[in-house]
Amino acid sequence: MGAKSSTKAIFSREHASYTRPSREAAEEAVRVLLRWAGEDPAREGLQDTPKRYVKAFGEWFAGYAEDPVDILSRTFEEVEGYDEMVILRNVRFESHCEHHIAPIIGNAHVAYLPNKRVVGISKLARLVDLYSKRMQIQERLTAQIATSLDTVLQPKGVGVVIEASHGCMTTRGVEKTGLTMVTSQMMGAFREDPSTRREFLSAIGNPTSGPHNII
């Protein structure tokens, strides 16, 4: 098995196989929820809501159909010896928590230390989108982005920091607004070398407003 095939095998185990219901079954499920909420799915304003909601669901969770290996597999070696940190800051994303399907909205900061190869910078943003467009918790989202970069690119180090607000806290439950959760994942030089970690955190503004102290 080649290196790329071996790497693909790692990510192919992320989700067990299952039988996907039809679009018609999904739309009927929305009608059931509307009735449960006390609405009449047959009234004029709601007649097309199941169709629209299922379409939106497909957009919100499009990440299940994408492969991180395909996104990161095209790299460039002609970098004239560049071996300093590459950072993409403030990658806005919209995800949904797997516990309440409530929005998680925030920004991701992604960095790596190249090991002879670099990847197109847009691919880092696409990687964030891929994992955010799945049912998530923020800690796993952070780890998945970092692990994919480390596994596929095999750089000298990877750093990922995510700052986000959670609809499951702001619109229900404790209903606390203005809170931001901060998570981080440091690998390689970012974990082992304090100066590398400090450089990264300084470049992104050293977020410390969440429950995780990442210094």
Indicate which residues carry an active-site annotation. 97-100, 138, 166, 168
Helix (H) or strand (E) holding 116: none
Tokens representing 44? 């004029």
Name the β-bridge partners of 86.
Answer: 112
Buried b (16+ CB within 10 A) or exposed e, 121-153: eebbbbbbbbbbbbebebeebbbbbbbbbbbbb
Q: Are 130 and 63 in contact (CB under 8 A)?
A: yes
Distance separating alpha carbons of residues 165 and 172, to the nearest angstrom: 13
Task: Give the 3-state secondary structure of residue 202.
Answer: helix
Angle of the 121-132 helix axis to the 138-153 helix axis, nearest 10: 140
- 213 contact partners, CB below 8 Å, separation of at least 6: none
Helix (H) or strand (E) holding 43: none
